[in-house]
A and B are shown apart, each in its own frame.
Chain A
């Protein structure tokens, strides 16, 4: 192996002698070709940054749908960039802020430090950081109270589990994810404190293999309801559950972030839905009215941004009485009668659990 590699290496050395020149040349050639046109643009410009693909049928897709909604219903000219590294965050903020984008949705807490920096440099631009933890006059976190939907999912899971073991498969252990799982557990235990709740974080929102492995492990430990908090990798959770169902076991998955009931209708019992698009739209409207700044924006069940949607195809797995209790629990949460646990993570936010 080494010998072969060496040969390739030496070959390159001689062949690639003129590379830099060639590289420069092609760059200049492309430069001459590309004198492009500009698309007509509106004065109201909104941008979206995501750290993952908007094809994830979940978190990022929701953000993108929000951007599209702002384009369609508010006539904004919009733009989206998928970033990979923290170094790119600053770059994207600067690029958008200096080309007339008034509001930038940074769809993830990873953007918060760069957002604060960019916010200082461009005081006229508003940056909305989904799940962010830092506030400044023009940089505001948009906090989704995912806990409220997760609690309902927990109640539902407790009704259907026969093994009295349920599982949670998470991606990266960030506060909103911790909060969602905490609330799920509380929902489960509100019905039956004896139920065992398994928990694992794969460390990656999009790693399909890791998510599947984690799900298989929990299923083999007896779990028969698995909730996830993943992005792209959620598909692997559904697949793992589907495989045991095909073997004749009874098991369910619970979707998260968007309505994932359609993705695997035979196994997804319901989905904790964040209507991210609605939240973005509402936020953009608030911003146009001059009402965004200096304080976090909260999106919850009260505004219908957070919901738990039961898959109509599997609705019959729950008795009428159980369905009744689920909707009365929902009403109690909306009314603030149930204290759903959550993880506080915005700097300066009161720690009222």
Chain B
């Protein structure tokens, strides 16, 4: 029905909904190359950030700060890539990504400690840290990390050795996508098959019960989960700059850290689910670009259509959930 609403809205705006839908599909899954070079490429940061959010949410850690963690990850990655240019190829890019992992984790450490030591809710603190992270990146490209000529608000381009190789030759898809898949597999394993994963899920289901019944050190679990979540979100930024943009810009992310929340929730907070929803959102965004280009629909309209498609998916799932019945609640454990 929401899709019907979208179609009617487009018609009211004087645009052809069929043409719009066709453009959206051509632009996202129209050909193998489109799917790989645009949809999957767009899915990569959403995949990392979505995994970061899903992991945190599973432990009941409401990390809304993936956006900021992503930006500081990008800053750290670019800084290493620009500074240690003497390192041989694989080491340089690995160091850059490691730096983004550390930076993302460090960024999450602040709200984690504020939560554990001072009892301040992480929803507020992570959101606030986003602003700090975003503006830190903005300051970096105007200040310490600005390109050598000091003209444009961006860094210099990183050397070839600091760039992630392409995953499928002839496409724009870089190794970051494979990294994200491996990471998703690792997270699924940790969550389901390890003691720590069990503790994490127990804390997420009920921190009080985890302490009493499971004698689990909830603070330790929360701290580690928070750090891991921040680290993964940081990696999202590191991978974007080493795999795709090859330089740091102010508007690196289009709110991916926030979209990641929808990606994670729609994916049922499971790594496998996040892979599917991240690709779905990637396709949606790729299609949105094509709707502008090929169907002449302005960006604002495209955003509305995009939102309506997401609502449609949510609604459809609700209906399915209702049909499946009332076995809610057990999935967390």
Contacts and interface: CB of A to CB of B under 8 A. Distances in A.
Interface of A: 1-2, 5-6, 9-20, 22-27, 30-31, 33-37, 39, 47, 51, 53-54, 79-88, 90-92, 94-96, 109-110, 112-113, 133, 172-175, 203, 343, 345, 347
Interface stretch (B84-92, B210-218, B246-254): B246-254
A85 B324 contact: no
Contact of B293 (A23, A31, A81, A84): A81
A118 to B, nearest CB: 11
A84 B298 CA distance: 13
Contacts of B268: 13, 16-20
B222 to A, nearest CB: 12
Tell me the dominant secondary structure on chain A's binding face. helix
Interface in B251-268: 251-254, 265-268
B251 to A, nearest CB: 6
Given A18-B321, A84-B251, A24 B280 contact: yes
A273 to B, nearest CB: 24
Given A20-B273, A81-B293, A91-B38, 16 more contacts: A6-B60, A16-B268, A18-B324, A19-B313, A20-B268, A20-B277, A23-B277, A24-B280, A33-B21, A35-B22, A54-B298, A91-B286, A92-B289, A110-B249, A133-B151, A203-B138
Given A33-B21, A34-B21, A17 B280 contact: no
Interface of B: 3, 16, 18-25, 27, 29, 37-38, 41-42, 45, 57-58, 60, 62, 121, 123, 138, 142, 149, 151-154, 157, 172, 205, 240, 244-247, 249-254, 265-269, 272-273, 276-277, 280, 283, 286, 289-290, 292-296, 298-300, 309, 312-313, 316-318, 320-321, 324, 327-332
Contacts of A9: 57, 60, 62
B254 A14 contact: no
Contacts of B252: 85-86
Contacts of A33: 18, 21
A86 to B, nearest CB: 4
A20 B296 contact: no
A6 to B, nearest CB: 6
Q: Which of A2, A13, A19 has the most CB of B within 10 A?
A: A19
Given A84-B254, A91-B289, A94-B37, A79 B121 contact: no
Q: Which of B21, B151, B280, B290 has the most CB of A within 10 A?
A: B151
Contacts of B298: 53-54, 82
Given A16-B265, A109-B152, A113-B246, A10 B332 contact: yes
Contact of B289 (A13, A39, A81, A174): A81
A36 B23 contact: yes
Contact of A19 (B29, B251, B273): B273
A286 B79 CA distance: 42
Contacts of B289: 81, 83, 88, 91-92, 95
B138 to A, nearest CB: 6
A22 B317 contact: yes
Nearest to B300: A53
A79 B292 CA distance: 8
Contacts of A23: 266, 276-277, 280, 313
A84 B174 CA distance: 21
Contacts of B29: 27, 31
Given A2-B123, A23-B266, A87-B41, A95 B280 contact: no
Nearest to B292: A81
A20 B154 contact: no
B332 A13 contact: yes
A174 B138 CA distance: 13
B19 A37 contact: yes
B332 A15 contact: no
Nearest to B275: A20
A36 B23 CA distance: 8
A9 B330 CA distance: 13
A95 B27 contact: yes
B244 A87 contact: yes
Q: Which of B123, B157, B286, B317 has the most CB of A within 10 A?
A: B317
Contacts of B253: 85
B19 A87 contact: no
B299 A174 contact: no
Contact of A79 (B154, B294, B313, B331): B294
23 contacts: A9-B62, A13-B58, A17-B268, A17-B321, A19-B273, A20-B280, A22-B316, A24-B276, A26-B313, A30-B25, A34-B21, A34-B22, A35-B18, A36-B22, A39-B19, A54-B298, A82-B292, A85-B252, A88-B254, A91-B38, A91-B172, A91-B289, A345-B151
A27 B283 contact: yes
Given A2-B123, A18-B320, A86-B249, A26 B309 contact: yes
Given A88-B289, A92-B289, A19 B266 contact: yes
B157 A85 contact: no
Nearest to A50: B299
B51 to A, nearest CB: 14
B328 A15 contact: yes
Contacts of A22: 313, 316-317, 320
A73 B120 CA distance: 62
A81 B294 CA distance: 9
Given A23-B313, A25-B316, A10 B205 contact: yes
